[in-house]
Every structure is written in C-alpha cells, then in structure tokens.
Chains A and B, each alone.
Chain A
C-alpha cells in the first residue's frame, strides 16, 4: 500500500529511528500512485501507472552526513538502510555548514487530499480523455492532450522528536487543439486537488474556441505593447521571481535582491504597490505540504507586501549567520488580485495584446531577472475593448520585476500550476521579434 495513514507512517518512522546509532537521524517517507493517459491526433498514444513507497534515512555523525533510500520494508531492509546511511556519513567529509536538526514543530493541516481523485483508475482516465477527443472530432479539429492524476503522502520524523504527515491528491489536464490547415492552435489547462473541479469539457471548449479564433494570424511589428497576460502566462514569469528570494544569494551580491555597494533590498519598494504575493500551505484553493524537507514549518509568509520586499528565504545555516529564523523557500504562491474578470479587462483595454500562454521561457540575466520566451496557442489583438483578430506569435525579452512596475490592472486570481495568479494588464511589455510558429 503506497499511501500510509498518519499512524502507520509514525510507527514505521519510529521503527527505523530505533535502529539508529548516529548522533542524529532523520527519516522521510514518500509514497503514492500516479496514473496518466496521453493522446494525440485524436487517438490515445501512451498511458502508464506507477505505485511506489520509499523511505529515506539521513544519519549525522558530528558534522558528517549520509543518506540512503530504500523501497523494501522488511525489518532487515530497513536496518540495512540505516546502517548504509551511517556508513556513508562516516565516509563523507565534514560539512562545516551543518545545522542540528530541529525538534518538534507545529504544522498546519492543509486539506489537500480528496478521495474521488485518489480512487481514479485507467477506465476513468480513458473516459475523460475519450470525451474530450469526441468533442474535438465533432469540431473537425485535431487534439493532443494529457491527463495525470496522483495520490501521494509524505511524512518526516527525526531523533529529536519531530514528526510531520501530509497527504494530497492532484489531477491535471492540458490540451492543445490545432486546425487541419495548421494555421490555428488553442490551449487550455487546469489542475485541482479534487478531480470533480477539473472541468475537462469546459477546457476542451476553450481550446477549440481559441484554435478557431487564432486561424490566419496577422503580423504586427515587434516593440513595446500593452498586454493582457492570462493567469498561465503571468504565473510563468512571476514564479521565476518568487523562486529567487534566497537571502544568501542576495547577501553574496548575486541576486536581483542584491544592493549596489552591498546589502539587500529587503524592505525596499521594488514593485507596483498593488502587488502582494504570499505563500500559505493552508490556502483552501492551493493547499500544499506544511513542512519543508528538513522539517521546518511552512507558514503563511508575505514575500511582497504592496510592492515592498517583505521577506527572503533563509536556510538554517544562513539564518544562524544573520541571527534570524530559518524560512524555507515557498513551493507555490498566491498573488492577490482585483475584482475584474478577464472579459472586463479586455473591455477596458483600448489597444493591446491578449496572451494565452508563454513557451520556452529561459533566463537571460539573473541580476535583472530578464527572461526570454514566446507567446503560443492563442495571441490576439485588442482594439477598443474588443478582440479584433489573431496575431502571429512574438518573442518577448522581459523581467517580472520590470513587468510588475508597469502594471495597469489586476483581475480575479485563478488556480494555475498549483498557484493562484490573476490576469494582468501590463504596459510597455517588450516583444523583441516575430515568430511564424503556430
């Protein structure tokens, strides 16, 4: 059984800890199942399923650390994993930055596990994919999609009495629909803990509509434009900024948060005052694990408050150097939004470009967080509050920091890739060249 209950996980972790001869020991359990189905050219192409449970043991001898993993659970295998971790610790060089493990912690209880998702089987997936294919074929278009569901748990315990347990489910669906003449392409995606909230039919309709509407796109000159970024596009750029909040890198002078002459930009107003970004494992829409890999609790943390850099993440070692509390980096984020729908935002735009999603976004300069990438699967010109016509795809060269200083409007946040992100209207967004790709 790949998903253990909290009690079973605690018993197993305690048993592994009882074999320890190390100064400190940490035990992590990760288990679960995943299932997927993939289709293309309106027919199933591949499918698969996994089921696994792993125990990971970290032994510490002084400042020497060793880790071993195993996925066999008889007593001798578990003891072997412990001895192996201790042996690796004995062989490892001392880590001068090693920080003692934390003792018991208090964690929140995110509601991330939904039984309906957990019990999904191959015929359920085939049915959902089949319905989407049927709808695409009825529209005489060609579709490629991917559905994946998972039910997982993780648990952590250490020789200092710490214990944490979390289980979650997830269901993702994405699809790209192309017109037979190759001139139109539309995309839609959704992900939820509860598969019942994943409206594959509605997503298929959106992708169909975008594919048709994007046919025979017109070329616009590259340059600076007002854009409306749908949540998928906005979230892709903002996540790079949220992932770069590490205090040590900033203190070392090699981050967008480093200050000229030394120090960091903590406390500075770096973004438009309407930008507030936080992470919260207990958020009802995007719940996530309440503890980090070393057992520190994830709590609600505001990273940007009304545009001001409010927090940076601190590893236990760097926190001690700086005399602050360790603060793990977030795994997801929530950006506060406004009250406008995407349709309202389009209506309120005199001239601009609507972007469905970005593709192949890669860094150019870690100092300015400059990124490049392309628009894809539905890029449209807005004139006088209305979508006028599809346009050819653009390459952008832009930084989320610059972008969030050029903010004109914020819409209602939506869940995308485990985060909550609003659609954004941005002025002077830099498109550097044109692409003929559809």
Chain B
C-alpha cells in the first residue's frame, strides 16, 4: 500500500502530510500468517553471529545487528463499506558498524549467511568511504553486554488473534452509530502493529523483543448543504501499547464531564464515542465563533499530549540541540548552556516532566532500546527547571555522562537507528483535584479536547495548536461550544503559565504512531501522559476566514 493511498483511506488527509514514506513498507500477507511465530531465536542468533563476525573480520571495531519482523494489520471502512484490509510483513536484517571511527550501515532481506556477510562487508566499506570526510571519530558510551534476554509487551489479548470479521463488525457498528446520530460521513480504522525485534552486538547482547501497539480511530463529518459548511470530529481514543483489551467498555476507565464529552483511560468504547462524535460534529456547525483574546485554557490530555510532544519532547532531543537535525526539523531553543546553568525556568514550579520508556500501556514501552541499552525513567524538567535531555550511546559524552539514556530507535530493520524521543509525560499533582474542580475554579476559559492542527517553529519557541472540541467556560460552568479556536504561545511562556494540574485519577495517555524525523524520514511511536491542565492567560486567535 502506497503512503498516499493510506492517507486517503485513513481519512488522515490533512493531518498526516508528514508521514514518512517508509511507513507502509512490507509485503501483504494473509491474516493467518500474522500468527506465524516466525524464525526461532536460535536461528536469529546464528544469523546475528554471522553478521558480527563478518563485520569484525572486515575491520569493524564495533557492530550491532537488528533482525526485524514487522507485522501490521490495517482495516479501513467508510460508511457501510470496507475500503481495504491490509496485512503486511516486513522481515530482514540491518547491520551497523564502526570502522575507521565512522558509522556505516547496510541491510538486506535475504537471510542467508552469504548475503548477511556480504551486507556486513558493505556496511564496513561504507564506513571506510565516509571516514574520508569524518572530522571526529564516533565515541560510544560503554554498554556491558546483557547476554541472552527476552521481553514482551504485557498484553492480555493479541489483536492478531481476533478474527477480521469481528473487527469489521465493530467498525460497521461504529459507522452505523455515527450515521444514526446525524453524521453525513464517517471513516473508521483499526491499526495493529507487532514488532518482533532481535538485537545483537559485539558487546555481548542477544535480545529478543515482542512489541505490540494498536490504534482504533475514526473521523465523523456533518455537512449543512444550505449554508455550505461542514465540520468534523475525530475519535478521542489514544494509540496505545496494549492488546485488543483496550477496546472494551469499563465504566471505571471513563470520565464523564457534565454538559461536555466523555473521555477514556485504558478502556475505549468506540461505539459510544462515535455516537457522541456525530452529535458534537452537528453541534459544531452552529457553534459560536470565538472572540480572539486571552483565556485560561483547560487542556485535556487528548489535546495537551501533542503540545507536550512538540514543545517538550522534540526540543529536549540532544541531536537537535547539537545540530544534527538542523537541515530538516531544526535545532532547539533549549541549548546546552541552558541545561548547564541549572536554573533555566522551563515551566512554573508545578511542572514536572519525565522521560519514561518503561511506563505501562505506552507506545514507547520496550525493555531495551535499539542499541541494547536497558530502558528506564528519568527527569527532564523538575519543579519547572530543565534538568536533562534525551540521548543515545554516541551522544552522552557530550553531556559529560558515561551512560546512555536508551533513546535509540529505528523504524524498521532496513533503516538506521538514531535518537528518538521516549514517552515524555507531565506528572499529575499531589492530592485530589479533578476536572470538575478545575472547571468550577475557572472564570473565563476554554476547555479543549482532541488533536487538531499543530505547528511549531524550528527551534520550538512559537507554536499554534487547535483541537477537536472547544467549550466555553464562564463562571465555573461549560456554557456551550466554540468554533474557529487556535491557541498561540511561546514554549517557555506557555509552560510558565501552567497554573493547575489535575490529580492521578485524571491522568491519561495521548500517542502517535507517526512521529516523523530524520533524513531519510522515519516514523516512531510514542505516548505522552498527563492529566487535564490549566494554563492561564493564553492567546487565542480566531481562525475563521472566507474564500
């Protein structure tokens, strides 16, 4: 399936224009083959040793090998029609080496000892050719080999074991619920991913990991032919590191906002959300256009998650800080000097942001990163002060540290691993403070839910975000829907305007399958957790125009 076809079928046409080209890589296979266990660990170890030995014999001083088998299932529907069901498999080996102090990388999908040895030689040759224009040799933080290890996402129901018919029936029910409640159009999709990743290195690690992720989503549109207006509402689900058990109805995982929407934690009722979406899309058609000005913003995790991603996750990537992404995604306002000063006020004192690759249910949850480093949790911003970045083995010496933070990731076996953000999340407040309390405490505000338009500059200062649902708050109550809302701010001003954070009972996840970075572009999956949070006096613009 080509990227353009995927974007069209998924209804992501406007929002997904930055999807990396390799996203849909893989050979389409039958649904049954998704349950094929694939090659056993002993075979993978043998092939990995072929690659490591061939690399060393050609002159590599370090080598690592990733044997990947990536299984994906995508289901696309529109109204009462199934547009496509795609089951794909991508399998092969990527070999990364250091020779003459320079990185080299090559990959092949032919899993024979001869082909793998040839591929390793190619990686070494590439390193040697590029060493001619290398200025400083690669410095790798030491990493003790961990021996033979296995790790698996703790899922309860493997989504690939659920019959396709059951999934289609669910989507048809979702679409039916939306249409019955007044939607003019609806597309719904299910995405399931299983990454079987085997990592080995000359440090003495042999790590076999089985990673599962999923995303149920839809877009509902309401059209008024007379006025010529149309409005949409996307699902309030989160892409998540769980099995099919995420698609269940559990009242304990639901938060109902009086006069407002229902939001979900770790159990998502897709039919209920589609019903609400249809009604809300219709309501949006007659919503009041927002008067521009300063408002206190109550941001739901389904909205704030993206703001965290763009204004915290990306600027604290060490490769950006150093200039490695300057030609594409840019650099960062959060410079090394700001970190070293130990007093850079990133946010207000109640702001605590953590990086965490071992957080349950998240998209970035793995046992080891793509350099074989055991994953962990660490602080990025503590009591509002910037305290750390995210780094890989070849970067940490620039921070004056000797241990990698485990942030290496490659989209697939045929792409080279590099620094990608871990799950980055805002910590809840201590004590009890609910979304109901927060609405009650707000005099003039806007409550925003869902992912909307997003844009931030290349050093991550100036941003503009929108959303799916906008509720006006007056004197402690939701008084109706608003339209044409976008909020603009500067990262540091915004996080310093953070006034209240709800407690852990309101903590929920936002996520993305498609965080794009690098040249050639690669996608990675990541989650951002937070409770509903209030930012005072944020600038809101009105985006209504006429053509």
Contact = CB atoms under 8 A, between A and B. Distances in A.
Interface string A284-306: 00000000010000000000000
Interface string A65-100: 001111100000000000010011001110111000
Given A362-B454, A362-B455, 18 more contacts: A40-B326, A43-B135, A46-B416, A46-B418, A68-B27, A84-B30, A88-B28, A88-B30, A122-B126, A148-B520, A175-B327, A254-B184, A256-B547, A260-B226, A372-B453, A373-B455, A374-B462, A397-B543
B134 A91 contact: no
A71 to B, nearest CB: 6
B327 A68 contact: no
Interface in A315-347: none
Interface stretch (A1-9, A48-56, A104-112): A48-56
Nearest to A207: B327
A357 B466 CA distance: 23
A395 B486 CA distance: 13
B292 to A, nearest CB: 10
B455 A176 contact: no
Interface stretch (B208-216, B227-235, B244-252, B523-531): B227-235
Nearest to A85: B28
A412 interface: no
A364 B88 CA distance: 33
Contacts of B328: 146
B81 A399 contact: no
Contact of B184 (A67, A187, A252, A366): A252
Interface string A155-198: 00000000000000000001110100000010100000000000
B458 A359 contact: yes
Contacts of A129: 133
A176 B547 contact: no
B446 interface: no
B380 interface: no
A126 to B, nearest CB: 5
Interface of A: 34, 36-50, 52, 54, 56, 67-71, 84, 87-88, 91-93, 95-97, 122-123, 126, 129-130, 133, 142, 144-146, 148, 174-176, 178, 185, 187, 252-254, 256, 258-262, 270, 293, 359-370, 372-374, 376, 393, 395, 397, 399, 401-402, 432-438
Given A92-B85, A148-B520, A363-B453, A40 B324 contact: yes
Nearest to A254: B230
Contacts of B458: 359-360, 374, 376, 437
A130 B488 CA distance: 41
Contact of A130 (B15, B132, B461): B132
Given A69-B27, A260-B227, A433 B488 contact: yes
Contacts of A92: 82, 85
Interface stretch (B37-45, B101-109, B174-182, B194-202): B101-109
Interface in B312-335: 322-328, 330-331, 333
B323 A364 contact: no
Given A50-B414, A87-B30, A359-B330, A69 B134 contact: no
A178 B326 contact: yes
A52 B31 CA distance: 24
Contacts of A69: 26-28, 88
A130 B102 CA distance: 15
Nearest to B164: A91
Contacts of B327: 38, 40, 144-146, 174-176, 187
A139 B164 CA distance: 60
B18 to A, nearest CB: 9
Contacts of A126: 129-130, 132-133
Interface in B329-348: 330-331, 333
B541 interface: yes
Interface in B19-34: 26-31
A37 B184 CA distance: 48
B144 interface: no
A291 to B, nearest CB: 14
A46 B103 contact: yes
B141 interface: no
- Which among B88, B126, B456 has the greatest number of chain A C-beta atoms within 10 A? B126
A47 B126 contact: yes
30 contacts: A43-B133, A46-B105, A47-B103, A49-B122, A67-B86, A69-B27, A69-B28, A93-B82, A96-B81, A122-B130, A130-B132, A148-B519, A175-B327, A178-B326, A253-B228, A253-B230, A254-B230, A262-B225, A359-B458, A360-B456, A362-B455, A363-B14, A368-B545, A368-B547, A372-B486, A374-B458, A393-B457, A399-B547, A436-B461, A437-B458
Contacts of A175: 327
A397 to B, nearest CB: 7
Contacts of A368: 545-547
